[in-house]
Amino acid sequence: MKNLENYKIESKRVLFRADFNVPLVNGKITDTSRIIAAKSSIKKLISNKNKIFLVAHFGRPKGKIINKYSLSFILPSLKEIFNVDKIYFLKNLDEESIKTITEEMQRGDLCLVENIRFLKEEEKIDLHFAKRISNLFDVYVNDAFSASHRNHTSITGFAKFLPAVAGNHLIMEIDNINFFLENSKKPNMAIVGGSKISTKIQLLNNLIEQFSTIAIGGAMANTFLLANKKNVGNSLIEENLNEEAIKVQLKAKKLNCKLILPVDAVCGKNIQDTHPVYRKIDEISSDDMILDIGEITTKLINEEIINSKMVLWNGPVGAFEYKPYDKATNVIAKIIKFNAKKLNIDTLAGGGDTISAIKNAKAEDGFDYISNAGGAFLEWLEGNESPGVIALKENNFS
Ligand code: 3PG
Ligand code: MG
């Protein structure tokens, strides 16, 4: 795979895919790590006097121009983080506009391209479009590991027509995740949470083969409880996945992987309910909604963590965006923070919500590596190499 060390990019027109899909709350970016992630590659390309076009998406406008998804809000943060005075902004990724701006730009200048998902050519993979645009550039760089699971024009299309080079952050993500997966030390445990089991079945099936213990929390645990004939009251469930939940448990049993499911819970009447009640799993009533795992379950998980040599975490164990249902997630983050180094436990975390939870708990210190990626992290753990990474590997333009 070409990268910024083994492939020289100097005084070139660079098409640079970044992931600037940052969390935005009331117009404010609450986590800039995806911008910071691109900094190392961008700095290098600037100092090598390239004209750099930054291509990224924001949200899911699905091929339509929707103002609230414009990427222009990110310009001040880009300037600050990349430490540059000026960044051009290209509203339309068409040949005329690209030519005009390229001529105006000095070497070492940056130009941000408007949300690439405003174009219908992005998600449907339009190779004619990719070719036309690629003709105006010398090289393509992909530094967006967290978007590389998408088979979209800006991820796999440009790589068909230009020398395609892996950015520094993309390499760092792959190296760190692979290192963790390839150097497995037993006993190892995975903590898997989040709201939907449907998005995590393949992950669970793959992890069962590699981990000694898997703790399941979040609303996805409810589907398992229901499959095990527990009353889960008003809790979020995916009823049609009963059978899958049973299959996962059978596979775990067969492969000697211990599954930890909640034995107690913190419930509210709804997610806004700030007066939670504590329940043993056998005592859930019909108007209860399970919103966090309870203390006994948390303790079971914590004991398992400190007796493990490796811990992988994807997905909060409760509805952590709504206080007080962030409690167990925070406790787990802190247990990892205070014990990982001391007990020599290798730790890896990833997934958008997991990252926020770890940051909320100020527990970053406890992790050897925190991936910036959500879906891409998940798919990598499922054993699928991202289309974007495959495109880089297969690229043989010099
Ligand atoms: C993400 O935030 O997970 C990536 O930027 C990909 O975004 P998507 O899930 O909308 O494709
Ligand atoms: Mg996503």
Q: Whose CA is nearest to atom 7 of ligand 1?
A: 147
Q: 242-251 pLDDT, tens per residue?
A: 999 999 999 9
- pLDDT of res. 195: 86
**pLDDT per position as a tens digit, 150-205:** 999 999 999 999 999 999 999 999 999 999 999 989 999 999 999 888 889 999 99
Ligand 1 site-directed mutation target among 21, 24, 71, most atoms within 8 Å of CB: 21
pTM across the whole model: 0.92
pLDDT value at residue 30: 87
Pocket test for ligand 1, best of 142, 146, 377 (most atoms within 8 A of CB): 146
Centre of ligand 2 from the C-alpha of residue 277, in Å:
32
Atom of ligand 1 nearest to the CA of 146: 4
pLDDT at 100 over 90: yes
Burial status of residue 20 (CB atoms within 10 A of its CB: 0-12, 13-18, 19 or more): buried
For ligand 1, what atom is nearest to the CA of residue 59? 10
Nearest listed ligand to the Cα of residue 21: 1
**Residue having the nearest C-alpha atom to atom 2 of ligand 1:** 21
Beta strands in the chain (DSSP E): 13-17, 24-25, 28-29, 51-55, 87-90, 110-113, 139-142, 164-166, 188-192, 213-216, 258-260, 264-268, 277-280, 289-293, 310-314, 346-349, 369-370
From the list 233, 318, 352, 374, the catalytic residue is: 352
User: What confidence score (pLDDT) does residue 325 get?
Assistant: 96
Instruction: Return the ligand number nearest the Cα of 149.
Output: 1
Residue 121 has pLDDT above 90, yes or no: yes
The upper half-sphere exposure of residue 45, i.e. CA atoms within 13 Å in the direction of its Cβ, equals 31
Distance 375 CA to ligand 1 centre (A): 7
- Report angle CA 266, 270, 272 to the nearest 5 degrees: 95
Q: Are 305 and 336 in contact (CB under 8 A)?
A: yes
Question: Of the residues 59, 108, 375, 383, which is catalytic?
Answer: 375
Residue 196 confidence (pLDDT): 85
Q: Is 352 part of the annotated catalytic residue set?
A: yes
Q: Whose CA is nearest to atom 6 of ligand 1?
A: 147
For this structure, is 351 an active site residue?
A: no
Q: Which residues line ligand 1 (CB under 6 A)?
A: 19, 21, 60, 146-147, 150, 374-375
Give the closest residue (by CA) to ligand 1 atom 9.
Answer: 375
Closest atom, ligand 1, to C-alpha of 144: 5
The pLDDT-based confidence of 360 (bands split at 50, 70, 90) is confident
Q: Which residues contact 254 (CB under 8 A, 6 or more apart)?
A: none
pLDDT at 351: 87
pLDDT at 352: 80
Average pLDDT over the chain reads: 96
Work out which ligand 1 atom sits closest to the CA atom of 34.
5
Q: What does the longest C-alpha to C-alpha distance in the chain come to?
A: 70
- Which residues have a Cβ under 8 Å from the Cβ of 172 and sit 6 or more positions away? none
Please tell me whether residue 283 adopts helix, strand or coil conformation: helix
Mean pLDDT throughout 316-325? 94
**Active-site residue, from 43, 196, 258, 299:** 196
- pLDDT band at residue 286 using 50, 70 and 90 as cut-offs: very high
Q: Residue 349 has what pLDDT?
A: 97
Ligand 1 centroid, distance to 55 Cα (angstroms): 14
Query: CA dist 235 to 120, 246, 262, 269, 284, Å?
Result: 38, 19, 13, 9, 10
Nearest bound ligand to CA 19?
Answer: 1
